[in-house]
Every structure is written in C-alpha cells, then in structure tokens.
Amino acid sequence: MSLLLHVVSGVRTFLDLQTILVLLVSFLGVLWFVRRGRNYPPGHWKWPILGNIPHIYKDPHLVYTRWAQRYGPVLHVQLGQKDAVVLNGYETVHKAFVGKAEDFSGRPTFIYFVDKISEGGKGVIFAPYGSFWKEQRKFTLMSLRDFGFGKRSIEGKIVEESQALQSEIAKFDGQPFSTHRLLQNAVANVICNIVFGDRWEYDDPLFQRMMDALDYMVSTNVFAVPQNFIPFTRYIPGWEGRLEPWMKKFLSIMGYLREELDKHKASFDPNDLRDFIDAYLLEIQKQKGVEGTRFKEDQLLQIMRDMFFAGAETTATTIRWTLFYMVIYPDVQRKVYEEIDQLLGKTPPSVSHRSQLPYTDAVLAEVQRIATVVPLGIPRATSNDTTLNGYNIPKDWILFVNLWSVHHDPQRWPDPERFDPGRFLDENGKFQKPEGFIPFSTGHRVCLGEQLARVEIFIFVITLLQHFELKLPEGAPVPSRKGTMGVTHAPQPHNIVAIPRD
C-alpha cells in the first residue's frame, strides 16, 4: 500500500511539474505573441526575469554588434524589467538622433542609479529633454565660451598644462612608467582651471585622493548593476551595499565640489568674474525672486559634477590610447613627429596649426575611431512614442547608441580592426572627415565638451611627441589592443618609456 501511495505521489509531483512547465511555456508564448503584435524591434532570446542581462555582462558593445548582424540595426533588449533599444550603424543612429531628435533625446532618469546620482535629473548630462535642459545647456555653453572654449585663452592654459605634464614625464629619465595617472592629472587640471579658476600640483594629497576616487568609479560600470533594471533587488539584504563603495567615492568628490562652491560664494564679486562658478552665481543673483527660476545652487553643483566627471576621464583615456598606438606603431609615430618637427620644431602648438598637420590630425581621428572610448555612449530614452525603421518604440524605453558598431562597420571602414590613418586623408593628403565618424555622438545630445576635448587631445599629444620618442620598455611584450570596459573603454595596464629628443 505504501508503495502504491509513493508511486501515486510521484506521478502527481511529475504532473505538477508538467503543469508548471506548460503554464510557463504558455505564458512566455502569449507574451511573445503580444509583443510581436505590437511590432517592437527584433532581438535575441531572453531569460525570465533577467532578460538579456546574462548575455551582455561582458563587452556588451561587441555582443550588440554581433546581434545587429543577425537581427538588424534596431535591436530590442530586455534588461530585467526595463525595455531598451540599441541602435547600430551610422544610418540608423543618424536617422534617430538627427532625423527624429525630438523623440530620441531623453535621459532615463527612471533608472535607479541615474536618478540617485543626478538627484532626479539635475545638471545637464542627465537632465530630461525639454525646456529645462535646453536652458541649462545653452547657458553652460555660452559661459564656457566666455571663459575659453573655442578661444586662444583656453589654448594657453592647455599649453601650460601640457608643459607641466612634459616636466613630470622628464623626471622618469627614460625609465618605464604608466601614463594613466599622469594624464588624469593633466586633463583634470584643465577642467579645474576653467570651472574653479585654479589648478593643482600633481603631488597634492587632496588632488590625488580625488583622482583615486575617480579611478575607482570609472573602472566600475555602475550602469550595469541589477538595481537599475530589477527593482526588487534593491530590497535584498546586502545588495544595496554593493553600490556603497562606489557611492562613497562619488560623495567624496561631491564634497570637494561643494567646498569649492562655498569658497566661491564667500569671495564672489559680480564685477570680477573669475570662472564658470562665478558666472553661474551671477545668474542666480540676477534671477533671485523670479518665480519658477531654475538657476539654483543645487543645479550649479550638479553641472560642476557633469563637467568634472565627463570632462576628465574620457579625454585622458583618448590620449592614453593615442600614446599606446604610437608605441606599438613606431613608423606612424615617426611620421607624426616629422610632420610636427617640420612645421613647429619646439614651438608650442596651437589649434591654428591643425590644418597644416593633416597626417597628425588623421592619426588622432583614427585612434578615436578604432578605440571608441565610450562605445555605448551615455544612455538616452525615448521622449515620445515613436517609430524607427518601421518598428514601434514606446515612450520611456532606454536607448543605447552602439558607437562601436558605427566605427567598426566594414561597409564604411574596410578591415575596421586595422589601424590606418589613411582613412582620414584624401588623394591630396588633406584631412577629411568621413560621414560615419561621430566620436562625440550626434544630435541634440552631442557631447557638451567636444570643442575642449579636441583642443586638449591635439595640444597634449603634439607637445609630448615634440619632446619625447615613446617606446615599449626593452624586452616588454607588445600590449594587447583589447581594452578593458568600465565607464570607458580603456587600454589594459602597460608601461612605456619616454626618451628625450635632441
């Protein structure tokens, strides 16, 4: 009798499992049918609850590029409980961000992490698309131009900083060193000069603590943490703590920015504006008492955050990649140096020299193409229900632009993994910018600091190559060209040697 009961119980358990599986498959089938009926973009198969997160945990830009070849340039991706679209290839990106800019220029402040660090979309980078963003971006750009953007005055500051960097590198006296921290110091100092009106000595303890914090933060891709896309994980004991070290570093830098703001308030003179902070404080003063004004101290602090975080790391990483490629392609480095030496000798460079240095300009562009420092850009969001390439895309879907696919498209860039500055030169040896080259993205949300970054990269690289021949340490293997992914796509750790030129 007990044997019979055991058999019956086993059969019932089996049937229960069968029932659960049938219900699960039926549910997924209905969900697939409903989604298909809504004409959403195609995409890879998805795990229950997690969606595509397990597929894209490592090198998502490469995964999306492969998927685009299979499913098409507009991909639907499920990130936990959040729907996202990945745009691949220049034509699709241009069609969305330029042709339908009003629909594709939002920011996903509904993502947990983005909401947390931006205090609900303050600043400029994470501000939702609309009148607030337009007003703050316009004021920021105008003020930055007043304090140097696009003017020779900023060139002077960058040249001075490049000379300080040159002096630091000379101290190694031909011994191997890493360019990582030195370039961070130099580029961050340019930002500090524009925003705060001052620079730091490279060995200043506070400055180095800030750089340590920045280093930790950019090495971790916090956009990928589960709390962003699977809300219930925020309440699992211990999971919130996984963000704690990152947030601690973030808040330490925000504390420094607050101190700078307080110092500026204490010494503010409306008749003697020193930098961007003073310009914004003056606008706050002008709009005091104006109903609904959006010029406030907390907004200023968040713009300072945007400029420091976005301006320092991406430019420094681009220059690191440039020096990396100069080391592994010494013939390219030699041609760049010869062009610079023939025009300038040891004369400090200026942006006015750019048109006379076409090969150098082509090398800098090819580095930006092949390295693609921010492969997926900063996440955007749809501002309205819209369509693209015949597919329906609802409002508030997350958007990723796969710049890696844009810059590694074999239809536009034959043999895209080959380093070839000639892609940016015409038949007469003059610099040309192909249509599919958008290292600073495109559309309304194009990088706020594009002009500054282009000047920094140009002047820093030329200054260093004027004074040093860059090599690998004797006996060192050639470093891998495969980068590491955090917030940026950076070179793997490596050392170089800088030999002073006569």
Strand partners, 496: 177
Q: How far is the C-alpha of 355 from the C-alpha of 433, rounded, in Å?
A: 13
Is the Cβ–Cβ distance between 492 and 176 less than 8 Å?
no
For the chain, the straight-line distance linking the first and the last C-alpha, in angstroms and rounded, comes to: 99
Amino acid at 52: N
Which strands, in side-by-side order, build the sheet including 380-381? 74-79, 82-88, 398-402, 380-381
Beta strands in 316-409 (DSSP E): 380-381, 386-388, 391-393, 398-402
Residue 141 DSSP symbol: H
Residue 442 CA to residue 98 CA, distance in Å, equals 7
Q: Interhelix angle for 180-196 vs 205-218, to 10°? A: 110
In single-letter form, the type of residue at position 50 comes to L
Structure tokens at 357: 């240095």
Q: Is 81 helix (H, G, I), strand (E, B) or coil?
A: coil
192 labeled binding residue: no
Do residues 49 and 230 touch, judged by C-beta distance below 8 A?
yes
Say how far apart CA 321 and CA 323 lie, in whole Å: 6
Kindly state the tokens that stand for 463: 């200054």
Bridge partners for 471 per DSSP: 497
d(CA 381, CA 85): 9
In 3-state terms, what secondary structure has residue 158?
A: helix
Which residues fall within 8 angstroms of residue 124, CB to CB, at 6 or more apart? 133, 136, 137, 140, 302, 303, 306, 448
Distance separating alpha carbons of residues 67 and 69, to the nearest angstrom: 5
Would you give the distance in Å from CA 114 to the centre of its chain?
Answer: 14
Helix then strand then coil, in percent of the chain rounded to 5, is 55, 10, 35
Binding site listing = 447
Binding site listing for heme = 447
